[in-house]
Amino acid sequence: MQKIRHFRHYGQKLLNNLSVSGQMTISIPFFALWLGGGTIIACLILFSTWSKHPAPLDTVQQTVNSLPVAEAPAIKAVSKKPADKWQQAIVEKGDSLARIFARLDISPAELHNIMQSDKAAQDLKRIQPKQEINIRTNNNGEVLELLHVISPTRSFSAQRDGDTFKTQFVERDTEIRTRHAFGSIESSLFLAAQKSGIEDAMIMDLIGIFGWDIDFALDIRQKDNFTVLYEEVFIEGEKIRNGNIIAAEFVNQGKKYRAVRYTDAQGHTDYYDENGRSLRKAFLRTPVAYSRISSHFGKRRHPIHKRFKLHKGVDYAAPYGTPVKATGSGKIIYRGRKGGYGKTIVIRHAGKYSTLYAHMSNYKRGLRSGQRVKQGQTIGYIGSTGLATGPHLHYEFRVNGSHRNPLRVRLPEARPIHHKYKQDFIEKASGLFAQLDAISNSMIAMNNP
């Protein structure tokens, strides 16, 4: 009760101070503060006190209307534009752009518009597994940009321009650095390459360069050595791949073979020896890369017939499915089963030469009789069809229809470098051969202190 009397006393005093000539003017902020501190009871007391001094309602309304009203700050509406969206797809085996657009939930009509933009867009029909397709779309699902990453250095771009697309190929700047490697063979060419820091793919390139003169399945010996001068390709300081072998040397059983890469003014590139003779022969020495010989040319006891007869070719043993390559360019004159030979291909080459490949498990898809093939092209795969005791390739080399030993027959030479480029070749090649000499001599000295 005492607390109520206290609030009533101050409430009455407040009203007396605020009432003038029967009019009620209330300081709203102060009154609100008082309400916050005085509870509902104080409000009731004030109301009851004010009822003893009523003021006309219109006077109260005028007074309240005269009070200043703070204006709320203006709020501007901000409309946020939907951001464009990038999506990426990695091309899978058997993929097409139509499938990729479906996976990314993009309308086929957008793909149609891109493909109809110009002839350059037809390149998109040749996408390969593991390549990147990057697509930018707007909020309506329209394609704004497509980027096909063909390789680390080359891309195809299509950018929207109204209702069509502008296309271009984009080339990234590369930096070429030259490196060298030296290897000495103890047990295996590939182990020696790994020890010297060379990748297997580059060793296969090295075999391809000297494969016309060296039989890498039969001729390799311990202490053989090689020196390679090659390129590395960098983009923005990061190595992306190895480049070409620009010069190489292989010492096989004490005999030195050397080669330098040269491109003439017509854009023709090949490997030549110090005298400008092409290392490329009309025929490869072996049709199977880095295999072993299981049976030589000559008289032998047949493993199935169990009697002695002339073995008219060379057998190369290799794992089932190993690619078989045409040793020379020519025309396929037979493709099919051929008695004990099993699945066989016969190729007729220019002039008087022909080669036979037998016991294959299968042929390269698309090859048929009458079709022309290039040297080094895959024509089939190692198998054991026909009369065979295990997976291998039977290879025959014929001159004017007569069988010759593929390992010993003298192969026809390829054409040498054209005489009008000979001087240019000598000037460029001499420095590279000098580098090979310096590298090989220093490395041999280090290995033989």
Q: Whole-angstrom Cα distance, residue 436 to residue 238?
A: 26
Comparing CA positions, the residue from 252, 294, 307, 260 lying closest to residue 279 is 260
CA distance 326 to 129: 27
CB 297 within 8 Å of CB 312: yes
What pLDDT does residue 379 have?
96
Roughly how many angstroms between the first and final C-alpha of the chain, as a whole number? 116
Which domains, and CATH codes, for the chain? Answer: 2-57 (no CATH), 85-171 (3.10.450.350), 174-281+416-449 (3.10.450.350), 292-404 (2.70.70.10)
168 CB-near residues (< 8 Å, 6+ apart)? 120, 156, 157
What does the pLDDT read at residue 21?
40
Between strands 392-399 and 353-360, the pairing is antiparallel
Residue 82: per-residue pLDDT: 61
Residue 441: per-residue pLDDT = 85
Tell whether pTM > 0.75.
no
Q: Which helix (H) or strand (E) covers residue 42, if one does?
A: helix 28-51
Q: Please give the chain's pLDDT, 449 residues, in tens.
A: 444 444 445 445 544 544 444 444 444 343 333 334 444 343 433 344 444 445 454 544 444 455 454 454 554 544 555 678 899 999 999 888 899 999 999 999 999 989 888 888 888 888 999 999 999 999 888 999 999 999 888 999 999 998 889 999 999 899 999 999 999 999 888 899 889 988 888 998 998 899 888 888 778 899 999 999 999 999 988 998 999 999 999 999 999 999 999 999 888 899 999 989 988 888 888 898 766 787 787 766 656 656 666 778 889 989 999 999 999 999 999 999 998 899 999 999 987 899 999 999 999 999 999 999 999 899 999 999 998 888 999 999 999 888 888 887 877 777 788 889 999 999 999 999 999 989 888 887 777 76
Residues forming beta bridges with residue 247, ordered by sequence position: 229, 260
pLDDT for the residue 81: 56
pLDDT at 307: 63
Measured distance CA(393)–CA(390) in Å, rounded: 10
Quick one: which H or E segment has residue 278? none
